[in-house]
Amino acid sequence: MLRFIRPVIYVCGFLVLILAGMMLAVGVFAWSRRDPETQVFLICAAIAAVSGAVMVLSCRRAQFNLIARQLYLLTSLSWVIMSLVGALPLIFSHSNLSLTDALFEAVSGITTTGSTVLSGLEHRPASLLLWRSLLQWLGGLGVIGMAVSILPFLRVGGMRLFHTESSDWSDKSVPRLQSLARLLLGTYFGISVACILSYWAAGMSLFDAINHAMTTVSTGGYATDDRSMGRFSHGILWIASLFMLLGALPFTMIITFLRRPAMDTLKNQQAIGLVFIIGTVSLMLTGVLIYQHQYEPFEALTHATFNLVSVITTTGYASTDYLGWGAFSVALFFLVMFIGGCSGSTSGGMKVFRFQLSYLFLRTQIRKLVHPSGVFITQYNGRRVQDEIIQSAVAFSFLFFLALAVITLLLALLGLDLLTSVSASATALTNVGPGVGEIIGPAGNFATLPAAAKWLLCFAMLLGRLELLTLMVLFTPIFWRG
């Protein structure tokens, strides 16, 4: 067993060292501003650095290759360890957060969910706000790397569909993987810088621009004020909508377009489907708001588009309390949170491609009912979809809704009302952030939930972020028997 787990601990050690470096950077930032949390971040950076160094040095080997079982364990364990280490500054801060609340905030950050137990954000130390944003930015990068490089190889939830040349593990070519990693990091960093400059030019302070850019591109949704994005101009809301959408698009498609700017590189069924859904539903929601005399036409279009993009990309920002838009709008927001963005993006949710595959599968079944002897080939992005991909997508969908039902029942058992139980479990599994209802809606937070409910939602956030099957396989006896 030790031989099996050593390479996993070795890699996780480097992740802890990365977090230590980030804590040190925030500590220096805090020192420059005479922030009260300076000592906290420096001490936590030292703890993380020592822990990471011990993990790396004790498990170092000359060379090793990770097999599928080790990759499952690495994928799950790395997110758990990053959540635990990321919670350290929150635990020891002067905000007097309990262990449960600190861990909830860290898990929500690293999984780019955006649910929070904090209030009065505008009065919190700048270092803590920056740390929350950094956790989401790092989490968004980790999501892309996992979705592009690891999940297709593990054949999780239909991700095998994206086992393309840009994420090909078949030859386990280290140089190619390193090149892909550099391209992903460069693209992610470049979009983040562009977002910072856009926000700053539109009127945000530099500090707000940096924080909101990191949580926009990562589709995380942490803000620096309890009003979320509601205190900014319409121009900033449109900029945010654009960069949230970019964060929800396949990064391999963006990389391909940047290297070869041509319209045919944008012919991605996922991306086209996401843009079509956003455009159609935004116009429909705008019409409803105008009909209800909620806003003037342009203001209605701005708020409808921004909040819809925020929910469907699982960012979780809010420009206003959209629960006041009526039952139809609330139901619409609740339903679209399940969709999510594209595979290989920073967003959560069930992903657009699974809904598209479900439609194609249903269409094929209907054709077979009409023509029992017919032979029908299902194609996606111009390629034939293998039966194993359909089976994996169906298994993922079944497990998703089973987990949704179980978590909802457990939350209800802990004393939460039905609406809060359903929306909390849904927003955790889809990594959206705010739920529905007065307690955890866009105008509330998760602070008043029982401690047991917060621990359960931490598990649900990790479960959703890891595409369910990656984490659930660790609870099967056959995994540990090999």
**How far is CA 93 from each of CA 96, 98, 449, 454, rounded to the nearest angstrom?**
7, 10, 21, 20
Within-domain flag for 238: yes
257-292 burial, b at 16+ Cβ within 10 Å, e below that, comes to beeeeeeeeeebbbbebbeebbeebbeebbebbbee
Task: Say which residues have a Cβ less than 8 Å from residue 280's Cβ, sequence separation at least 6.
Answer: none
- Structural domain total, the chain: 1
- Torsion-angle region of residue 25: left (phi > 0), alpha (psi -120 to 50) or beta? alpha
State how far the Cα of 269 lies from the Cα of 273, in Å rounded to an integer.
6
Q: What is the pLDDT of residue 223?
A: 95
Q: Which domain holds residue 53?
A: 2-248
pLDDT band at 170 (very low <50, low <70, confident <90, very high): very low
pLDDT band at 2 (very low <50, low <70, confident <90, very high): low
Question: 298, 399, 347: which is closest to 146 by C-alpha?
Answer: 347
Q: What does the longest C-alpha to C-alpha distance in the chain come to?
A: 76
- Per-residue pLDDT averaged across 56-80, rounded? 84
Within-domain flag for 150: yes
pLDDT band at 377 (very low <50, low <70, confident <90, very high): confident
Within-domain flag for 388: no
Q: What is the pLDDT of residue 62?
A: 58
Question: 397, 442, 437, 395: which is closest to 417 by C-alpha?
Answer: 437
How many contiguous H segments (helices) and E segments (strands) does the chain have? 20, 2
Q: What is the pLDDT of residue 265?
A: 83
Q: What is the pLDDT of residue 63?
A: 67
Within-domain flag for 212: yes
pLDDT band at 411 (very low <50, low <70, confident <90, very high): very high
Q: What is the pLDDT of residue 320?
A: 92
Contact of 40 with 89, CB cutoff 8 Å: yes
Question: 15, 9, 135: which is closest to 73 by C-alpha?
Answer: 9
- For residue range 198-252, list pLDDT tens digits in order: 999 999 999 999 999 999 999 999 999 999 999 999 999 999 999 999 999 999 8
Contact of 306 with 241, CB cutoff 8 Å: yes
Helix axis angle, 99-110 relative to 451-465, nearest 10°?
A: 20
Within-domain flag for 195: yes
